[in-house]
């Protein structure tokens, strides 16, 4: 079908730019250690130590925020393509070369949408809810390491911090459900609160499994204890402990899916039952916030799983941020794959799965790993 001229011109002009931008992005990520080293030496030679570290951290925060703003653009396109190919169709093809401009188009559309707040809604809560949800997802990236020394703040309680901050999302969702003055949203919010609170327990227990083997809550230490790659004394945690860690990894992944409200656990936003669950009444940029928070949380769960069990930025052959990026991308792809394959669990089945199956299994794994660790030392 012949496309109108202007549309074709814009597409032919912007698509190569976007693809080149993505490529450049990957190059920057691959070369990130060298760039960071250069910046660090420059700052240390130019400013006093305190100021140097302040500027360093500020740049780190800026880079992380920039990355987290760009990632959903790519992830939305990626999800739509994965969904399409799983469903035996092509996905976005018209907006840019193979649909690469689709996320930009959607973002611009959302910016222009009318901001509707329902009549009986609780206005302050309605406005704060998306902010809390996005905070819960993005603030956790402060302790996620991208490479050796490429971390905003290497807290020695890093894992505890992540678990605590992601709980904020639950409050945000509950607020959104209540403040919308809509029975469907209320259902979505209630279900989500129950689900998130329940699934934090197996998450924390699995993190304990890792902490027992590593001896520290800091994420850089977790990676340092997997520094040998796939073979050796300090190999990836996934391959240790005779398969117990594999069980722990699978459980962590399942809990991560539940924490981010992804299918098969997307009861709170169950499209076919509750229209759109807790974000039914949100439109425009507020809805975009929930969307961004979901992709950010997806990336966080995948990233933390990669760090805890797959060695983070330590790869089998070469190390660096690119390795971390690829591992996380693969786990995100698995999350999307599961979403478009499996049906949805009903809320009582979901909670039964957590309380009756996951927690006992995780406790058993914890006891076994603790026993094996004591025996080894």
121 makes contact with other proteins (CB under 8 A): no
Size of the site for other proteins (CB under 8 A): 27
37 makes contact with other proteins (CB under 8 A): no
Q: Give the nearest distance from C-beta 131 to other proteins in angstroms.
A: 28
Q: Which of residues 347-366 bind other proteins (CB under 8 A)?
A: 347-349
Q: Give the nearest distance from C-beta 349 to other proteins in angstroms.
A: 6
Q: Which is nearer to other proteins, 340 or 355 (CB)?
A: 340
Residue 332 Ramachandran class (φ > 0 left, ψ -120 to 50 alpha, else beta): alpha
**Where in the chain does DSSP place strands (E)?**
none
- CA angle 279–284–290, rounded 5-degree value: 40
Residue pointed to by tokens 């130019």: 46
Q: Which is nearer to other proteins, 160 or 250 (CB)?
A: 250
Q: Where are the alpha helices (DSSP H) in 87-139?
A: 102-112, 123-138
Does residue 264 have a cis peptide bond before it, meaning omega lies within 30 degrees of 0? yes
Joined tokens for residue 352: 């039964």
The answer to whether 71 touches 295, Cβ cutoff 8 Å, is yes
Q: Which is nearer to other proteins, 161 or 278 (CB)?
A: 278
From residue 5, how far is each of 83, 97, 175, 331 by CA, in Å? Answer: 30, 15, 47, 40
Q: Give the nearest distance from C-beta 266 to other proteins in angstroms.
A: 7
Q: Which is nearer to other proteins, 109 or 183 (CB)?
A: 183
Joined tokens for residue 2: 């012949």
Q: Which of residues 55-114 bind other proteins (CB under 8 A)?
A: 83, 86-89
Q: Give the nearest distance from C-beta 194 to other proteins in angstroms.
A: 10
Q: Which is nearer to other proteins, 36 or 186 (CB)?
A: 186
Q: Up-side HSE of residue 109: CA atoms within 13 Å toward CB? A: 6
Joined tokens for residue 288: 């975009």
Identified binder of other proteins from the candidate list 187, 236, 249, 313, rule CB under 8 A: 187
Q: Give the nearest distance from C-beta 1 to other proteins in angstroms.
A: 19
Q: Of the candidates 105, 100, 98, 95, which has an alpha carbon nearest to the alpha carbon of residue 3? A: 95
263 to 302: interface string for other proteins, x by CB under 8 A: xx-xx--xxxx-x---------------------------
345 makes contact with other proteins (CB under 8 A): yes
Provide the binding-site residues for other proteins, judged by CB under 8 A.
83, 86-89, 183-184, 187, 263-264, 266-267, 270-273, 275, 340-349
């Amino acid at each position: 079908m012949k496309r109108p001229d202007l549309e074709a011109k814009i597409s032919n002009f912007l698509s190569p730019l976007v693809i080149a931008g993505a490529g450049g992005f990957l190059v920057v990520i691959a070369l990130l250690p060298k760039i960071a080293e250069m910046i660090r030496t420059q700052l240390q030679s130019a400013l006093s130590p305190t100021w140097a570290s302040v500027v360093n951290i500020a740049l780190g925060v800026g880079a992380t925020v920039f990355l987290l703003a760009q990632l959903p653009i790519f992830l939305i396109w990626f999800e739509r393509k994965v969904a399409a190919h799983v469903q035996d169709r092509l996905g976005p093809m018209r907006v840019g070369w193979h649909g690469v401009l689709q996320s930009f188009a959607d973002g611009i559309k959302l910016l222009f949408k009318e901001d509707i707040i329902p009549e009986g809604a609780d206005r302050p809560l309605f406005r704060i809810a998306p902010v809390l949800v996005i905070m819960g997802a993005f603030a956790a990236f402060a302790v996620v390491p991208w490479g050796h020394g490429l971390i905003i703040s290497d807290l020695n309680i890093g894992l505890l911090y992540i678990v605590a901050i992601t709980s904020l999302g639950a409050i945000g969702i509950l607020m959104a459900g209540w403040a919308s003055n809509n029975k469907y949203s209320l259902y979505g919010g209630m279900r989500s609160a129950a689900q998130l609170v329940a699934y934090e327990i197996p998450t924390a227990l699995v993190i304990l499994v890792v902490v027992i083997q590593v001896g520290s809550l800091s994420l850089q230490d977790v990676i340092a204890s997997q520094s040998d790659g796939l073979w050796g004394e300090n190999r990836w945690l996934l391959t240790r402990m005779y398969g117990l860690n594999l069980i722990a990894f699978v459980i962590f992944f399942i809990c991560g899916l539940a924490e981010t409200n992804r299918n098969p656990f997307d009861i709170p936003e169950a499209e076919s039952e509750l229209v759109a669950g807790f974000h039914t009444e949100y439109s425009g940029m507020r809805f975009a916030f929930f969307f961004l928070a979901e992709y950010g949380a997806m990336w966080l769960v995948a990233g933390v799983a990669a760090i805890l069990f797959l060695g983070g930025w330590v790869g089998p052959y070469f190390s660096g941020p690119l390795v971390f990026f690829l591992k996380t991308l693969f786990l995100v792809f698995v999350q999307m794959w599961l979403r478009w394959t499996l049906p949805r669990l009903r809320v009582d089945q979901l909670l039964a799965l957590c309380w009756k199956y996951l927690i006992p299994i995780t406790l058993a794994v914890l006891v076994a790993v603790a026993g094996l660790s004591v025996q080894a030392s």
